[in-house]
Amino acid sequence: MRRKISGWVIAVLCAILVFGCGGASSLDDVKLYVAPDGNDAWSGTLKRPAADGSDGPLATPGGAVNRLRQLRAEGRITGAPVRVIFQEGRYYLAEPVTLSPEDSGGPNAPVIFESAPGADVTWDGGVPVTGWRAESDGTWSAAAPPGCGAPGVPVSALWINGQRRTPARTPNARNVNGDFPRDEELFFMESPVTETDSAGKEVSSRTDFRFRPGDLKSWPGLEDARVVVYHSWETSLCRVSSLDEENRVVTFTSPAVWPYGQWVKNQWYFVEHLAEALDQPGEWVHRTREGLIRYMPLPGESPETVEAFVPRLRQLLVLQGQPEAGRYVEHIHFRGIAFEHTDYPIGQEGHHDSQAAHSVNAAVEWTGARYCTLEDCRIAHTGNYGLWFRRGCQRNVARRCAAYDLGAGGARIGECGNPATENEAAAWNEIDNSIFLDGGRIFRGAVGLWIGRSSYNRLSHNEVGWFRYTGISVGWSWGYDPSSAHHNTVEYNHVHHIGQGQLNDMGGIYTLGISPGTIVRNNCFHDIRSNPKLYGGWGLYTDEGSSDILMENNIVYNTTTGGFHQHYGRENRIVNNILAFSSNEQIIRTRQEEHISFYFLRNIVYYDNSRLLGSNWKDDKGYVTEGNLYWNTAGPVRFGDDDLAGWRARGHDLLGMVADPKFAAPEQGDFFLSPDSPAFALGFVPIDRSRIGLYGDASWKQMPEMLAARLGLDRIQP
């Protein structure tokens, strides 16, 4: 107790010395309050409005930022911590809250934006939709709030009672996410349209294709609609330029990344945001010419009682440093704040990305930020990514946060290109003990957690689930060129329900490029389900030159096309993993090269079909396998044409074995090894699944289940 009192006394004395000449007398002078019934003209030093209305809390986050700048200009913030405390309520933002280097705190004097104890605080980029009117056809209509969307551009989302509703689409989908689509839920392209390129060669068009009879029509609402076209691992969101019903050719306003028909001749697509497709409960559409939002209610909903929102802003919180000039936003912390409702409208040009929805921004986006944190925050109901630590972001932390119902992906670190200077490198950032659920609701190719050309970052103890492409992606370099993505650590994450039958060429963990020092360990990846019409739903996926990466102590099960797949790379180490229950081949090696592709050591491969090895295993000197245990519950273990003896004769698994590893209940995802498991004789080290995923109090660890129920997510493949 003496030490605590002494420390407090010293702090007060220091504050008096610091503020004495500036008119401030105590640390209380740098504590501000914000409340929904506040006023940005007030001082912000009172929690509640004064009885005479002369003073009280501030009203908005932007007002608090302006007040802090005023205090700083007056010399009243010079060396003590600053706290901005928000009372419970929803704070509607007219523009993103933007902080600059001059708003920074210091190592011992941070600036803290936080909720009051027990308060539910939301910074909201949306606006309520009110005045619903019941129409004779069973739909409701309401005026679109001012400032939402753009001329000829519908708003991207509508939320009713906290749930995202489905843009009117044709064909209809069985579930609101469009997961595991059946043939009747999609249109299929009849054929590509050929054209002559600049070299005089006949090629498939990137703007046109021929549709099947009756699929597309010159609907009046087509001007607001967009066509969602699947390209293996991405989607194009296309706006229609013209539609020739007689010749059944649709032309889009901008070219896709790939020619139509590149991956499959009967390419699949559907149409959404189409007024003429408003035909089932839970669908909605924004008619831009009329300025109306129309909605077909679900049973039990009433226009007088629903709480409806549409987004207005694209971003909610921006930290904008200038790392190229060595000017950073530093030591600013956000605690207990929710960020909700962002837009990402698709203009007349449409939207096309080559991978990972990489051009899409984030609701919370930092550039040139250092030593800043998000803690116990929530990012939800977005049209874009949730969080992005961009260029020049160093030593920032997001911990115990939740991001869900995301138009794109969960969180990103770094950029798609190498930093121009050391100051502009994104490095040493951490995302820990956080939840990322239900992403890719608009941009299906988005990733749960993404690290680009960035190094020394750590992703740990996170839960990532229900994304329509890859769970975690590390590296953004193709081939063997030098990359600035290295020494990243991915550990103790729980990644599940990835792909959802929509996209392909994905992984629970997906790596790219040379990445020395990168470690993927002690994670659990399961239910990686790609679209069965193409290829590529893997657990551990080393793609495009992935090299010098260690993947160890991971549990992988229930994948579509393999627990481990290496496209091509050099000397990766796949050690002490459990790979179980791929629907097709269990381990896959695609490219034969003049070096060691990987070392496959002391793994357990457990499966229930006749397919162990996939693709190219003929060059026995191009890979090393040793000490692995293989078991097939459906029959003999075969290494291509060989049994174990033949496999050993080729120089592989001289110490390996074929034997039942004696898991506790593998069909239920329980891979606990019996004490008499033969795996121990091979040096296999048990993987403690209890340490994987979220940590902390029971309510936090149960949060994903609660959110999944609220969002209508299903853990079982339909």
How high is the pLDDT of residue 718?
A: 45
How high is the pLDDT of residue 592?
A: 95
Question: 594 and 567 in contact (C-beta within 8 Å)?
Answer: no
Residue with tokens 């498991």, as numbered in its chain = 677
Residue with tokens 């103890």, as numbered in its chain = 461
Q: Is 200 exposed, middle or buried (0-12, 13-18, 19+ CB in 10 A)?
A: exposed
DSSP-assigned letter for residue 684: P
Q: By C-alpha distance, which of 241, 238, 224 is closest to 267?
A: 238
How high is the pLDDT of residue 152?
A: 78
Tell me the Ramachandran region of residue 622: left when phi exceeds 0, alpha when psi lies from -120 to 50, beta otherwise.
alpha
Question: 49 and 37 in contact (C-beta within 8 Å)?
Answer: yes
CA distance linking residue 482 with residue 478, whole number of Å: 10
How high is the pLDDT of residue 717?
A: 53
CA distance linking residue 429 with residue 369, whole number of Å: 10
At the topology level, CATH places domain 88-125+313-346+360-468 in Pectate Lyase C-like (2.160.20)
CA distance linking residue 125 with residue 94, whole number of Å: 8
DSSP-assigned letter for residue 70: H
Question: 382 and 338 in contact (C-beta within 8 Å)?
Answer: no
Low-confidence ranges of the chain (pLDDT < 70): 1-29, 149, 715-718
CA distance linking residue 510 with residue 117, whole number of Å: 40
The tens digit of pLDDT for each residue in 559-616 reads 999 999 999 999 999 999 999 999 999 999 999 999 999 999 999 999 999 999 999 9
The partner residues of 157 in beta bridges, in order of sequence, read none
Helices then strands, counting H and E runs in the chain, come out as 5, 61
* End-to-end Cα spacing for the chain: 60
For the chain, what are the domain ranges? 1-80, 88-125+313-346+360-468, 127-309, 472-710
CA-only gyration radius of the chain, Å = 27
Question: 22 and 76 in contact (C-beta within 8 Å)?
Answer: yes
Question: 421 and 397 in contact (C-beta within 8 Å)?
Answer: no
Spell out the residues 6+ positions from residue 642 whose beta carbon is closer than 8 angstroms to its own.
649, 650
Residue with tokens 């501030």, as numbered in its chain = 58
